[in-house]
Amino acid sequence: MNRRCTWIEPTAMDESGMVPAVVQSHQPGDMFQLGTTNIVYTFTDQSSNEAMCSFAITVVEVDTTEPMVTYCPQSSTYTVPLGTSSRVVTWLEPTASDNSRVSPMVMQSHQSGESFNIGPTDVMYLFIDEAGNQATCSFVIMVIEIDNVAPEIIGCEQSASYTVSVGTMSLVVTWTEPTATDNSGMTPTVTQSHQPGDSFPVGMTQVTYTFTDQAGNDATCTFAIIIQAIDNISPIISNCPQSTSYTVPLGTTSRVASWTAPSATDNNGGEVTVTMSHQPGQSFPLGTTEVTYTFTDEVGNSNTCAFIIMGRSNSTLC
């Protein structure tokens, strides 16, 4: 490496009053190579008397270039659960190279894998080469305490079924409301889709309670209210005959009996089936015979019409 050097040139006086002639080996502003170069000025007067001025120019190579840092991490934020005081943080450590091809010395404030407290921490790497040139890498590790735990629900109801008679459209239902606690110690807010004592229609209705803490974490309690309309009403019988007594002449063992058959209707308008023990017009023996009509609706509810046919012999003597 060459270097241009300058200097203030020397001068000379002579007792003759004449300016001496000068011969010099180099000029100010010349380029000089690394190493030492002798500079010589020779002053000669008219009588050939000489005087010399000599000095050395030394060019040395000086490293003024700082190391070059590679992979300096970015500042980063990390979270820890509420109540946690620190967190272990790791990163890819930076390196540095130098124009001298000798690895710089490194000094650092923290190590990757250390535990960092809540809040910001400045991390610095200082790289120093053999010439004392320095380069730094610095970044911030921020640890933030956050609540990411949902509230804990107590007493979430189970789904429940209720029945109403056919034709009933709704039913009032009550339950014990759930509650919730939170790790923060604060009571969560609650929103709910229904209140105990609300009227619920026939079918299934989903009831939802949502508990939210101050950090926005949610916990949900969900259950179903099922209202089923069932037919538990027996058919209504019309014209059930009254019990009847008949007499027959002495020596007769039976008699034909007739009546108007009863009928029945059902509350849901469905078909009603009937089974009977006897038909009108049948022959009945002496004594007591129970006649039954059983009416059954489509869901199995039944109702019975029963009456007595009593036959007795006329034993009156004239």
The reply to whether the predicted model has a pTM over 0.75 is no
How far apart are alpha carbons 255 and 80 in whole angstroms? 99
The CATH code of domain 68-146 reads 2.60.40
How far apart are alpha carbons 54 and 35 in whole angstroms? 16
- The pLDDT value given to residue 317: 40
Fold that domain 152-230 belongs to in CATH = Immunoglobulin-like (2.60.40)
What is the per-residue DSSP string for the chain?
--EE---PPP----TTSSPPEEEES--TT-EE-SEEEEEEEEEE-TT--EEEEEEEEEE-----PPPEEE-PPPPEEEEEETT--EEE------EEE-TTSSPPEEEES--TT-EEESEEEEEEEEEE-TT--EEEEEEEEEEEEE-----EEE-PPPPEEEEEETT--EEE---PPPEEE-TTSSPPEEEES--TT-EEESEEEEEEEEEE-TT--EEEEEEEEEEEEE---PPEEE-PPPPEEEEEETT--EEE---PPPEEE-TT----EEEES--TT-EEESEEEEEEEEEE-TTS-EEEEEEEEEEEEE----
How far apart are alpha carbons 104 and 101 in whole angstroms? 9
Range(s) within the chain of domains with CATH label 2.60.40: 68-146, 152-230, 236-314
Query: Would the CA dihedral through 7, 8, 13, 17 be positive or negative?
Result: positive
Each of the 318 residues of the chain gets a pLDDT tens digit; together they read 788 999 999 999 999 889 999 999 999 999 999 899 999 999 999 999 999 999 999 998 888 899 999 999 999 999 998 888 999 999 999 999 999 889 999 999 999 999 999 999 999 999 999 999 999 999 999 999 999 899 999 999 999 999 998 888 999 999 999 999 999 889 999 999 999 999 999 999 999 999 999 999 999 999 999 999 888 889 999 999 999 998 888 888 899 999 999 999 998 888 999 999 999 999 999 999 999 999 999 889 999 999 999 988 876 543
How far apart are alpha carbons 35 and 57 in whole angstroms? 8
Q: Is 215 exposed, middle or buried (0-12, 13-18, 19+ CB in 10 A)?
A: middle
- The pLDDT value given to residue 315: 65
Kindly list the distances between the CA atom of residue 189 and the CA atoms of 149, 174, 180, in Å, as whole numbers in the listed order: 15, 21, 9
How far apart are alpha carbons 17 and 45 in whole angstroms? 10
How far apart are alpha carbons 155 and 261 in whole angstroms? 59
Closest CA to 57 of 104, 89, 25: 25
Query: Does 236-314 carry CATH code 2.60.40?
Result: yes
CB distance 56 to 37 below 8 Å = yes
How far apart are alpha carbons 107 and 23 in whole angstroms? 56
